[in-house]
Amino acid sequence: MFEEFERLNSYLEDTTDEENALLKKINRETFLRETMPHMLSGHYQGRVLAMLSKLVQPKLALEIGTFTGYATVCLAEGLNEGGVLHTIDINEEQQDRVQSYFDESDFASQIKYHIGDAADVIQTIEGQFDLIFIDADKKRNLYYFQELIDRVRTGGLILLDNVLWKGKVFDDKPDSQTKQVIELNKTLASDNRVEKLILPIRDGLFVLRKK
């Protein structure tokens, strides 16, 4: 099964656009320096995020959970001219390195990198969002959605990562963390304010479009 997954992933990566030099650098250094490099969005999901962002062309975008900045750079590719992407993470230890990636990108002036508790930081960001990507503390995903849904314009997107939770959402006896993901998915599926679908990409990407 794992071999089939690897073959599929390789095929998907081979048939999409290549990573640019900066994304390759972020990918390589994440796997060299981080203890949990699997948290990186990676080549194929990165192209999906970039495509969705380009379709929306956000003037104001938000990412909760920067990690090493791979997805951030991908999302920034779709920014409207003069658009801004705010990205929030709580890990100060990575700050200098991740900021250097943003400074090296073509979007240095458009990416605003915040270190702090996302629940606090989002209160300081003014405006209506066109695109939101939530990829942080899974326990607070529903909180972030409920806090931000009214700040998303009609037609805007909210993306949530890891909603298949390594397939554990299908377990007969899910653990407490898996139950939270299941409850999140159930709640989002029944929310009439959004159109929704889950893309079975990597660990599952929930795509919600504000009505």
Question: Going from the N-terminus, what domains does the chain have, and what CATH number goes with each?
Answer: 2-210 (3.40.50.150)
**Cα 164 to Cα 61: distance, rounded to the nearest angstrom:** 24
Beta-carbon contacts of residue 155 (< 8 Å; ≥ 6 apart): 56, 209, 210
pTM here? 0.95
Helix (H) or strand (E) holding 206, with range, is strand 205-210
Predicted confidence pLDDT, tens digits, the chain (211 residues): 557 778 888 899 999 999 999 999 999 999 999 999 989 999 999 999 999 999 999 999 999 999 999 999 999 999 999 999 999 999 999 999 999 999 999 999 999 999 999 999 999 999 999 999 999 888 899 999 999 999 999 999 999 999 999 888 888 899 888 999 999 999 999 999 999 999 999 889 999 999 9
